[in-house]
Structures are given as structure tokens and as C-alpha cells.
Amino acid sequence: MLQLVLFNVFNGLIVGAFYALMALGLSLIVNLSGVINFAHGGFLALGAYIAYSLMPWVGFWGALMVAPVLTAVVGLAVERVLIRRVYGRDPLYSLLLTFGLAYILEDATRYIWGAQSLPYPIPGALAQPLSTQFFFLTGYRLFMVALVGLAVAGLFFVLGRTRLGIRIRAGTLDLETVSALGVNVRVLRNLNFGLGIYLAGLAGVLAAGMLGLQPTIGTSLIMPSFVAIVVGGLGSLPGTLFGGLLIGVASGLATVFVPSASEAIIYVMMGLVLLVRPRGLLGEEGRLK
């Protein structure tokens, strides 16, 4: 029993790491630009498929490094051409725009790479189970958690220590002042969007190795990411990270005890959090808007 619980807690942690990676990207964008990027799941799928196409040329490790960057470049272009136009307008329009974009991305993925699911080969060394005695765990899963940890550490380093990151954080608090101080806000928002999409692309490549490739791979991950943001705390990136891991573990545990509720439980958690603490567990006061 303990074995089963441990296994599912760890599994939940992996899933939670995905949610967190997605949700961090979404949070970055919503905090600075007020746009809920519904197409985030589409970008995740795009990252996965780009990696798949690159792999014959650059191998697993090359694809892992290049694909998220290429996805981010697509993100930068999309922000420049489309997303930029809805800044400052009613959130309704950004939602509808990215909603339409999500449709287009999913359809485009299906058109280019086909509707059937594709296998995503991972290096033999990572595919080995680490220990069959205690509980089943492949090296790939451990590797994924480590990589997500690295990406998150990298993100917090960028936000905390670099000029760009400090500007992003300042812009989140007061964009007008940042603009008045001579920072090019258009470029800032563009780069911030690209950063968020980079995380989505990375999540996509990692998810491909675990789940294989399907055009709908992103759609199934985006709703829990919303939940992660709300549970963790509106406007707080550490909160988002915490929220992602928490709901991942919760749904992992639910798999043991009430398997049929493993998806629904995270929404129940969201309801509870909203009931007792509407701003989220680590959310800042006055960020309900």
C-alpha cells in the first residue's frame, strides 16, 4: 500500500511539474499583459512536434535544446502580429483571440503531422527503470523532474537577477511607471510572451517523451494549469509553482483512493481555496482583478 501511495505521489509530482511549467508561462503573460493565453496548450503541442521533426537531424538532446527556442520564436512572431493588438482592451477579446488561435494551432498540427498519435523515442539510458524492487520508476521520469526543476530555477534566476527579469517584475507591478522610466514596453511584453512560450515548448518536448505525440496533447494540460494558478495564488509565481505541484500530488493520491475522481479533485480543491481564500494560497492581496 505504502509503495502504491509513494508511486502515485511521485507520479503526481511529475504531472504537477508539467502543470507548473505550463502555469508559470501562463502566469508570466497574464501578470504583465493581462492576457490569458488560451493557445498555450497549442504552443506546447507545437514544441513537441517540432522536436519530433528535428530529432532525426539533431538527436534527442539537440531537439530538447532547439525545439523550445523555435517554439518561442513562433510565439514572439504571434505576439507581434496578433496578441499585441488586444492589449489594454477588454479581456474578452484576448480570450477570444487566443481561443481562435488554439483552434488554428491544433488544426495546423493535425494537418502537418497527422491526427494519429506518434511515438517519441527517448534514449535507451533514460528509458531504463531505475529500480524494479522498490517501485517502478524510469530514468526518464526522474530526468524530467530534474529538468523542470532546472527550468524553474532558471526562470527565477532570470526574473530575480537579470535586467530583463527585473523589468518584467517591475512592469507587473506598474507598467506605466516602467514605461515612463524609458523601458520599451512593447519589446518587454514581446520578450515576456516569448519566455512564457519557451516554457510551454519545453513542457511539450518533455511531455512528448512520456505521453507520445497527439495533436490534443496541449489541451489536456491547459485546464489544470488554470487551476494551478488560481489555487497557488493570483499574481504570484512561487504560488503558481506550488499550486501546480500541489494539484499534481492531489490527483496522484486520488488515483490510489478514488480513481474515478482523479481529474475532478483538482477542481474541488480550487472550489475550497476560493471559498476560504479567494486570492489563492500564496496570492497577494488586492490582485483579484
Q: How far is CA 101 from the centre of its chain?
A: 17
Q: How far is the CB of 223 from another protein (least distance, A)?
A: 5
Closest to 247 (Cα-Cα) out of 7, 200, 230, 234: 230
Closer CB to another protein, 102 or 122, in the complex: 102
| 216-253 per-residue burial string, b: 16 or more CB within 10 A, e: under 16 | ebbbebbebbbbbbbbbbbbbbebbbbbbbbbbbbbbb
From 125-133, 149-157, 188-196, 226-234, give the range in contact with another protein by CB under 8 A: 226-234
Q: Give the torsion sign (CA, 27, 28, 34, 40).
A: negative
79 binding another protein? (CB under 8 A)? no
| Helix 2-33 × helix 139-161 angle, to 10° | 30
Q: How far is the CB of 161 from another protein (least distance, A)?
A: 28
Assign 118 to helix, strand or coil.
Answer: strand
Q: How far is the CB of 191 from another protein (least distance, A)?
A: 21
Please give the Cα distance from 159 to 175 (Å, whole number): 16
Please give the Cα distance from 196 to 203 (Å, whole number): 11
The contact pattern for another protein, residues 21-60, with x = CB under 8 A and - = no contact, is ---------x---xxx------------------------
Query: Is 213 in contact with 49 (CB distance < 8 Å)?
Result: yes
From 68-76, 121-129, 201-209, 262-270, give the range in contact with another protein by CB under 8 A: 262-270
Q: How far is the CB of 177 from another protein (least distance, A)?
A: 21
Q: How big is the site for another protein, counted in residues (CB under 8 A)?
A: 46
Q: How far is the CB of 197 from another protein (least distance, A)?
A: 18
Q: How far is the CB of 124 from another protein (least distance, A)?
A: 35
Closer CB to another protein, 107 or 174, in the complex: 107
Closer CB to another protein, 101 or 197, in the complex: 101
Beta bridge partners of residue 138, listed in sequence order = 129
Which backbone phi and psi does 14 adopt, to 5 degrees?
Answer: -65, -50
Beta bridge partners of residue 129, listed in sequence order = 138
Q: How far is the CB of 272 from another protein (least distance, A)?
A: 9
Task: Tell which one of 223, 253, 256, 281 touches another protein (CB under 8 A).
Answer: 223
From the number of C-beta atoms within 10 Å of its C-beta (0-12, 13-18, 19+), residue 284 rates as middle
99 binding another protein? (CB under 8 A)? yes
From 47-55, 108-116, 118-126, 156-164, give the range in contact with another protein by CB under 8 A: 108-116
Interface residue list for another protein (CB under 8 A): 30, 34-36, 82, 85-86, 89-97, 99-104, 106-108, 110-111, 223, 226-227, 229-230, 234, 260-261, 263-264, 267-268, 270-271, 274-275, 278, 288-289
